[in-house]
């Protein structure tokens, strides 16, 4: 089956509408993709709460982390890039059905690369270890009993938010999931992100709060929909 190309002409500014085109990235894009993800997650509510510090300080340690994460899991995962005006403005890290949870040698490689690349973060932000503990807790909620696409990380460059980038990235996977008759799963801490994915057919499976008082996380699932209109 050919890989779909998702487009979105949504526009929430006074500029002329532009088309967002999504395609699968090859390894030559890892550095630029890490930059976009670092910028995007520098102000993420869960990471701001756990790590503290300033967005610029978090961004500096996120770049090597995302670079290592992508290199480590590249054999089993894939990166999708959203292009707008020739610029990479959004990135989604995803796992196809049957690729998550990662096991065997691929798990060893992925974990080794991830933790080595996280050293600068752990030095700059000692509380980062609680983030990794939180990731482990989230994995316990993962619906591994049914085939699905796992939308692991999705980030949009802050300068290009509210232009349909996140929607186009989601549709890129949804179109293929619907064609294959499998579901989609993701987690988020953003209220706006929850609303966006609800419009695309996702439902909340469960919620939790960091430390019982921090940002609320949401596990979201979408059943495959034949002939669904995700516009």
pLDDT at 117 over 60: yes
Q: At how many degrees (to 10) do helices 191-199 and 165-180 cross?
A: 40
The count of other CB atoms within 10 Å of the CB of residue 85 is 9
7 within some domain: no
pLDDT of residue 18: 73
Provide the pLDDT confidence category of residue 135 given band limits of 50, 70 and 90: confident
Instruction: Say yes or no to pLDDT of 230 above 80.
Output: no
* Residue 164 region by backbone torsions, left for phi larger than 0, else alpha for psi between -120 and 50, else beta: left
What's the mean pLDDT in 82-87? 94
What is the domain extent for residue 72? Answer: 20-222
Number of domains in the chain: 1
Domain annotation covers residue 42: yes
Can you give the CATH number for the domain in which 74 is found?
3.40.630.30
Tell me the backbone φ, ψ of residue 150, rounded to 5 degrees.
Answer: -105, 115
> Is residue 43 assigned to a domain?
yes
pLDDT confidence of 137, banded at 50, 70, 90? confident
Q: What per-residue confidence (pLDDT) applies to 93? A: 98
Question: For residue 130, is it within any domain?
Answer: yes
Residue 14 domain-assigned (yes or no): no
In a domain, 4, yes or no: no
Residue 77 domain-assigned (yes or no): yes
């Amino acid at each position: 089956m050919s890989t779909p190309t998702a487009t979105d002409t949504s526009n929430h500014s006074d500029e002329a509408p532009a088309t967002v085109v999504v395609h699968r990235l090859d390894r030559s894009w890892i550095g630029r993709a890490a930059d976009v993800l670092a910028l995007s997650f520098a102000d993420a509510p869960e990471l701001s709460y756990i790590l503290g510090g300033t967005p610029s300080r978090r961004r500096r340690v996120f770049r090597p982390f995302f670079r290592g994460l992508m290199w480590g899991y590249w054999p089993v995962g894939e990166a999708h890039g959203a292009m707008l005006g020739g610029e990479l403005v959004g990135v989604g890290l995803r796992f196809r059905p049957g690729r998550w949870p990662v096991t065997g040698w691929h798990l060893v490689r992925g974990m080794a690369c991830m933790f080595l690349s996280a050293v600068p973060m752990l030095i700059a932000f000692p509380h980062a270890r609680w983030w990794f503990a939180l990731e482990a807790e989230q994995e316990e909620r993962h619906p591994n009993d049914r085939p699905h696409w796992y939308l692991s990380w999705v980030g949009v460059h802050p300068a290009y938010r509210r232009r349909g980038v996140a929607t186009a990235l989601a549709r890129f996977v949804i179109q293929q999931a619907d064609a294959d008759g499998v579901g989609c799963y993701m987690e988020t801490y953003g209220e706006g992100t929850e609303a966006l994915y609800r419009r695309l057919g996702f439902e909340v499976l469960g919620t939790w709060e960091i430390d019982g008082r921090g940002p609320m996380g949401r596990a979201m699932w979408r059943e495959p929909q034949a002939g669904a209109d995700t516009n």
